[in-house]
Chain A
Amino acid sequence: MIRGYLYAALIILGWGAVKTSCEQNIDADVKLIKYGESSDLIRDLPAIPQTQHSDKPTTLARAVRDNVGQSLAIVALGGFRGLAANFVWLNVHQAWTDRDWVRLRTQAEIAVQLQPRSEFYWENGAWHMAWNASTYWERNMDESNPSRRDIEAHRWIEIGRDFLDRGIKINPQSYTLLVRMGDLYANRLAEYHQAYLWYAEAAKRPDAPLYVSRLTGHWLMKAGEYDEAYKYFIDLGKKAIATHETNQTHLYLIQKNIQECEKQLHIPPEKSFFTK
């Protein structure tokens, strides 16, 4: 009787010794898929200033232990992280409705730790922080001191920007997150040259829609850099013709932007790009 158990124990222990290296290989693949890879794409990203709000990501185990209930932790750690992240995101939505920004930030942090490769959580989390929380503080008349309102509003923009920056580093292939960073610089910080840099990076992604390349030049114009914008739109137009672009709206808007640049640069009609 003992012999059968002995054989079974030997097989299991033998497999246990072999499987560790096999598990390590698979784990490396899984981690790559779950947490992204250190890609060359990150090297080319525009830098953002380091702030005191830049969070150091904690381990999932710690974040879950500290911030979510027991039942959700079991769901998350029991192999259903995606589902748990969805339910955590419902808390983010509730916190937004309640205007409880600190809870919103905490819950968004858990959602992105559960599924760091889901662009949706980074994009919308940053939007809640840099737009909703920040605008709330700009207009919060419960705070009588306008300087304090401004400081708090700016702080939330920085929190949103740092959050989005972490998302971009984990998902450097995503044009959406790069576009959102550009939007944040343009619409929340009025730093149009920075917006141009982020949009230019987004336009390099193969799945980026056409409007991204147009807006890249648009931000140059907003930054007052008409020379650069003019060259950019001419190149974009030539590229569209070379690739036989059929989208008439895209071609028309490039043409309009070139005309606008020529007007701003006082280029006489005889020297216009269209005359040439």
Chain B
Amino acid sequence: MASIDDSDESLMVAVKEGSHQAFSILVRRHTPRFFQMAYRLCGRVQEAEDMVQEAFLKIWKNPMVWKDDKGAKFTTWFYRILFNQNIDRARSKKPVAVDDEYLQSFADDKNTPEMAVFVSEEQKIIEAALNSLPERQKVAITLCFYEGVSNSQAAEIMGVNVKALESLLMRAKMGLRDFIKGHDASVFDGKGVLHGRSR
């Protein structure tokens, strides 16, 4: 009998044995976190929801892909599923161009009920800068900076070694710097002051 106090890994063993209750506990426990990760990668509420739903259904339909004997953490493993889905998504559609239309979409999101955060001009530029990165660099930054995943875990999720991950992070930072220099230097201001710009 699965309970809410069980660890993710033991719940996953129960899911393999067909426990829908264990699956429900996992879904309720992790949906917000995984949704936020997916949202950071794709930038759209609907797409992020679809990604999370698809990933959970994948493990429900085919739980045998979970190998509990390898000692992997459930969250690391799930991030990997999301990462692969994101790569597939990025391959199947055209890259989002950093243009007025893209920036406008953030302004539109601001008016929707689910987007209850203040989206400033500055944040739009940050989103555009992150979106200008190649997909793998963006994932590396998202995992290491926003999800707080360690470098070795992030490397495991992305299926690369730690050196390669560090290289991805380095190139991502360079790319971000270049983008900011080319667009708006004021975002770089560590004091949060937007120079020569009216809010």
Same complex: no
Interface residues of A (CB under 8 A from B): none
